[in-house]
Structure 1
């Protein structure tokens, strides 16, 4: 397990918990849920920069580069897309939908680690 994966797991888990709690207590998109999406996006930007620097320095990935970067680009679009959707659908359920970003991004960073290092954690 890498430090980047552990940090991502923590950020995603925190986001999921915050969004679930806000689904129970708020009837509209909560600021804390939106901030948790921002933290996931920030983490993904840092992950992408780290991966780019690592590859530019000559380190290779075990899997396909197009697949690796495809996962990163897709993951980067998720929080933004769900944020836009939450601003359009201002109901309690926006918080619940935002929680799925944390779950999906966790799975995606797990897969990124498999592609990067060549094995499951």
Structure 2
């Protein structure tokens, strides 16, 4: 993983998470802003998938478990899709909060992916 890209993903996921949680607790239903913020994080995760495929071939191999890394990455991408899908089916303030919790969970998962890729020794 690339350190600066990890920070970009973390900042985007935390910002989207806080935006959705605050909007949901304020009584707002899912909107273009909240769903769009999660779409941005999803786009960053899809780019991370491409980066993770290319990185070992250009001299940036993982030091930890590759299987664990990919499980985190695929789970994070699916988690956001599930949260947005739920929010679009059940348009309530609590589905906006759930989207925020999902985005904050993805932030934790992205940091864990970075640790698996760079810190651990297999």
Q: TM-score, normalized by length of structure 1?
A: 0.89
After superposing the two structures, state which structure 1 stretch, 100-109 or 53-62, moved more.
53-62
Instruction: Write out per-residue CA displacement over residues 47-101 of structure 1, whole angstroms, 9 at most, x where no aligned residue.
Output: 1111111023343211111111111111110111011111111111111010012
Moved more, 50-59 or 65-74: 50-59
Q: 2:67 and 2:39 mapped to 1: Cα distance?
A: 25
The residue that corresponds to 1:66 in the other structure is 67
Distance 1:12 1:35 in 2: 12
- Residue 13 of structure 1 is matched in structure 2 by 14
SS in structure 2 of the partner of residue 28 of structure 1: coil
SS of structure 2 residue aligned to 1:59: coil
Gaps of at least 5 residues in structure 1 are: none
Tell me how far 1:43 sits from its aligned partner.
0.7
Q: CA RMSD, aligned part only?
A: 1.7
Q: What number of residue pairs does the alignment pair up? A: 119
Aligned to 1:97: 98
If the length of structure 2 is used for normalisation, what is the TM-score?
Answer: 0.88
1:29 deviation in Å? Answer: 1.4
